[in-house]
Structure 1
Amino acid sequence: MEIDESITVVPYHEQWTALFEQEKTILSREFGEAAIEIQHFGSTSVPGMLAKPIIDILVGVRTLEIGHSILEALAKRGYEGFGESGVKGRLYFRLRPEQEQAFNLAVVIWNGEQWINNLLIRDFLRADPDAARQYSERKQSTINKGMTTLLAYSDDKAEYVSRLLERAKQRFQT
């Protein structure tokens, strides 16, 4: 179980929203009252954007001390847990079934920094098609440079994402 994996980006698919809703229903049942809110985020949540064909799900909780029954339910469903994986305040899980839709799960403190920042970027890209187009171009450029593993791809665009977050904060936070 290694966190690095091969990746690619593809054009936006309309079914991503419905697939998120289906998984949200399952996760709502598994997390129960531990989940305050579950949101679709990342590029698959922004119509028209290029994205890794992996749906990102943000689960807002009161505490990152996830109960054993939830961890068991996630494992039974096929999710692998990776702890914080270099992102303080986030528990990262992923589901990579062979024939079905892949998912990333970020469990964070609801209304904490990770929650707010991820939704700010999503909302900014949804509200600004030009920013979404530019970010799509950056993603394709990263792939074209040969950055086709998760860690290399993420590292190459980290500064760009940081600047996106700053733009989102300027636009939405007064």
Structure 2
Amino acid sequence: MIEIVAHNTLWKQDFAAEANAVASALDLRLTTVHHIGSTAIAGILAKPVIDMLAVSPSLDALNTATPALTALGYQAMGAYGIEGRLYFRKDDAAGRRTHHLHGYAAGSPQIERHLAFRDYLRAHPDIAMQYSALKQQLIADDADYIEGKAPFVLATEAQALGWYRQQPRDY
């Protein structure tokens, strides 16, 4: 059963603390860590799991950091269905999922896709609210959550990428 909850303002702090731990563990094998997913978008419903996007000079460099991430409590899942990604997940002591870490090599188009979607929803609260309402409806209808939101995500990603590529960035 998928759980979605109201936005929690502490998610931003949780991300920052975990990103610092990951950055310290990865040392020079990391370029940056971004907060992505619904917990990174104020005001919308989200699964209470912090999604992070780690950018590394290469997947090999990130792969060599697996022992350091394991020491932080992460489980290495390999590509986990997405070519060019290294995926890690972390659970708390009670076995509840707390973090997802999506690792990509610098220059991967997946990085732009994730950041565009996040930034687009942040800049367009009306669309973010549509996304939140869709997620709430899928849960209420006991529908397939991932498949049910896929058409919205794909359509919004296409809009987001066009918009994102026109935006000035400071990162």
The aligned counterpart of 1:109 is 105
- Aligned pairs, how many? 164
Alpha-carbon RMSD across the aligned residues, in angstroms, is: 1.6
Instruction: Give TM-score, length-normalised by structure 1.
Output: 0.88
Specify the code of the residue in structure 1 equivalent to 2:103: V
- Of 33, 53, 59, which residue of structure 2 is paired with 1:58? 53
Out of 23-32 and 164-173, give the one that drifted further: 164-173
Within 1, Cα distance between the matches of 2:141 and 2:76?
A: 30
Report if the CA contact (8 A) 2:89-2:97 is conserved.
no
Q: Report SS of the residue matched to 1:111.
A: coil
- Of 121, 130, 134, which residue of structure 1 is paired with 2:126? 130
Structure 1 residue 101: deviation in Å?
A: 7.3
Structure 1 residue 29: deviation in Å?
A: 0.7
Q: Report SS of the residue matched to 2:157.
A: helix
Q: Does the alignment pair 1:89 with 2:84?
A: yes
Report if the CA contact (8 A) 2:37-2:118 is conserved.
yes
The aligned counterpart of 1:3 is none
Which string of whole-angstrom CA distances, capped at 9 and with x for unpartnered residues, describes residues 32-74 of structure 1?
1111111101110011011000000000012112343x21121
The aligned counterpart of 1:18 is 13
Structure 1 residue 21: deviation in Å?
A: 0.4
Report if the CA contact (8 A) 2:48-2:98 is conserved.
yes
Instruction: Mark the runs of 5 or more structure 2 residues left unpaired by the alignment.
Output: 167-171
- Of 69, 72, 79, which residue of structure 2 is paired with 1:77? 72
Report if the CA contact (8 A) 2:63-2:86 is conserved.
no
Within 2, Cα distance between the matches of 1:82 and 1:153?
A: 21
Query: How much identity, in percent, do the aligned residues show?
Result: 32
Q: Which ranges of 4 or more aligned residues in structure 1 deviate by more than 4 Å?
A: none
- Of 30, 43, 48, which residue of structure 2 is paired with 1:35? 30
Q: Does the alignment pair 1:143 with 2:139?
A: yes
Within 2, Cα distance between the matches of 1:101 and 1:143?
A: 18
Out of 22-31 and 152-161, give the one that drifted further: 152-161
Q: Report SS of the residue matched to 1:85.
A: coil
Within 2, Cα distance between the matches of 1:93 and 1:159?
A: 26
